[in-house]
Amino acid sequence: MSSLAREFAKTKLSSLPPPEPLQEEPPEYEDDSSSASSMSSTGTVRPSNTLRPAPAIHWSDYFAQEFYLEQDRKDAGHAKFHVYLTPPASSKAPLIVLHHGAGSSAMTFALAAKEIRKAMPDIGILAVEARDHGSVVWDASGQVDTDLSIAQLSQDLLDMILLTQAKMGWGELPTIVLIGHSLGGAVVTDAANRGLLGNKLMGFGVLDVVEGSAMETLGHMHTYLASRPKSFPSLPAAIEWHIRSRTLRNPQSARVSVPSLLLQTSDGRWAWRTEISSTEPYWENWFTGMSGKFLSGKGAKLLLLAGTDRLDKELMIGQMQGKFQLQVFPAAGHFLHEDLPEKTAEVVVEFVKRNDRSTLVLPPKVSDMLAQGKRV
């Protein structure tokens, strides 16, 4: 959950503007330099017929394909999942699956995904959007299903991966690396811990969220949400607000990701696509037990943080025992993958290369060498 996570793990309101300036801003932001939602994860406002999506941005500069994957669900409901894909160049190349945080979107990973592909041109990238964050799930009665529990979000993630496999006609899944930011980090951790991808999971990475700091920050969520403008006069205003409030610290990334966080209202203003406050019933569910699940999850593990102060006791012990790779970007904000996309890509690429067994070259067996008449 990008935005929630932002409040949660990283900024803890530290990246927000000074209290007084924020209080002076009216509920409707009037400055022409504002920005969209900084929360990325679960809990999106249901678009009504009075809202329409922001003008399409150039997603094709960062991904090869865009899909709306439809699924008839076992409970007689129906799902329409929104994903962006750049397929692996070969059946042996890994697929990195990216999951955003609460209130965010797949475009939060646009710049980092492009940098990853520069370093590893053969690798695949799948950026998914959670239900109510670009994807929609309906129950059997036709009502929007707003179950945002961690177990359901993990199942949605698996469904999106399998639907992509079917769409692309892959005989089997590529080797997969899961990467999630904030709430997305909790989702990929849960999926890895439950073994949803079996032996296809090479490893998983969590960006700037840990159980301890996330749970502590939940108490500040209402204050943060109350401080945000409810709408913006224009997209440039929304983008500027994100930068000025230091929600995002990279103007280029803000221009790419912010428009996808907003919907235009009937009066021409731009309102948040995701109503983070509506997800409150699930906040504790997302993060409770996350540290334990992270340490016991299947595959290699990467934790990328904006500050070491976010490590809780359980993770500190695990880190000292060498159970996961830790990388810290002290100069970044909560959206570290947007603030420092090149450095984030470097860490992810190195993590993939280190754990990709398909690239290992094993020495020949002695028996084979003897059979070939070679001396050993």
Residue 45's CATH number: 3.40.50.1820
| 208 noted as active-site residue | yes
Active-site option among 132, 145, 159, 208: 208
- For residue 118, being part of any structural domain is answered with yes
Range in 55-59, 149-153, 170-174, 262-266 with the lowest mean pLDDT: 55-59
Q: What is the DSSP letter of 156?
A: H
Encode pLDDT of 70-82 as tens digits. 999 877 799 999 9
Residue 75 pLDDT: 75
- For residue 358, being part of any structural domain is answered with yes
Do 164 and 83 touch, CB atoms closer than 8 A?
A: yes
Q: Closest Cα to residue 36, out of 184, 214, 245?
A: 245
Residue 5 pLDDT: 42
Does the pLDDT of residue 96 top 60, yes or no? Answer: yes
Residue 52 pLDDT: 61
- What is the spatial distance between Cα 64 and Cα 84, in angstroms, rounded to a whole number? 8
H/E run at residue 177 = strand 176-181
Question: Considering the chain, what is the average pLDDT of its residues?
Answer: 85
163-168, long-range: CB < 8 A, 24+ apart: 163/69, 163/71, 163/81, 164/67, 164/69, 164/83, 164/85, 164/126, 167/67, 167/69, 168/85, 168/87
pLDDT mean over 42-65: 63
Residues 6+ apart with CB under 8 A from 372: none
Residue 51 pLDDT: 57
Q: Residue 218: which pLDDT band, with cuts at 50, 70 and 90?
A: confident
Encode pLDDT of 314-343 as tens digits. 999 999 999 999 999 999 999 999 999 999
Range in 37-51, 167-181, 211-225, 318-332 with the lowest mean pLDDT: 37-51
Q: What are the CA-CA distances from residue 12 to residues 9, 34, 95, 215 (Å)?
A: 6, 20, 32, 11
- What is the spatial distance between Cα 109 and Cα 111, in angstroms, rounded to a whole number? 6
Q: Closest Cα to residue 157, out of 118, 124, 197?
A: 197
Q: What's the sign of the alpha-carbon dihedral 205, 81, 153, 110? A: positive
Residue 35 pLDDT: 32
Residue 292 pLDDT: 96
Does the pLDDT of residue 32 top 80, yes or no? Answer: no
* Degrees to nearest 5, angle at CA 97 with 287 and 95: 145
Backbone angles phi, psi at 156, to 5 degrees: -60, -40
Instruction: Quote the distance between the C-alpha of residue 189 and its chain's center.
Output: 12
Helix (H) and strand (E) counts for the chain?
Answer: 15, 13
- What is the spatial distance between Cα 260 and Cα 270, in angstroms, rounded to a whole number? 11
Residue 213 pLDDT: 87
| 334 noted as active-site residue | yes
Greater confidence (376 vs 340) lies with 340
Does the pLDDT of residue 101 top 50, yes or no? Answer: yes
Percent of the residues in the chain that have a pLDDT greater than 90, as a whole number: 70
Count of domains for the chain: 1
Name the packing angle between helices 183-193 and 150-168 (round to 10°): 80
Residue 18 pLDDT: 39
- For residue 376, being part of any structural domain is answered with no
Encode pLDDT of 338-372 as tens digits. 999 999 999 999 999 999 987 644 456 666 666 67
Question: Pairing between strand 201-207 and 176-181?
Answer: parallel
Range in 45-59, 85-99, 306-320 with the lowest mean pLDDT: 45-59
Q: Closest Cα to residue 59, out of 108, 116, 121, 120?
A: 108
Residue 24 pLDDT: 37
Q: Residue 43: which pLDDT band, with cuts at 50, 70 and 90?
A: very low
Output the pTM of the full model.
0.82
Give the domain range for residue 89.
Answer: 2-371
pLDDT mean over 115-125: 98
Does the pLDDT of residue 256 top 60, yes or no? Answer: yes
Encode pLDDT of 178-194 as tens digits. 999 999 999 999 999 99
Reduced to 3 states, what is the DSSP secondary structure of residue 228? coil
- For residue 148, being part of any structural domain is answered with yes
Does the pLDDT of residue 174 top 90, yes or no? Answer: yes
* The residue to which tokens 């041109």 are assigned: 121
Active-site option among 334, 337, 339, 356: 334
Does the pLDDT of residue 151 top 50, yes or no? Answer: yes
Do 373 and 144 touch, CB atoms closer than 8 A?
A: no
Encode pLDDT of 12-31 as tens digits. 434 334 333 333 344 455 54
Residue 39 pLDDT: 38
Active-site option among 37, 41, 182, 257: 182
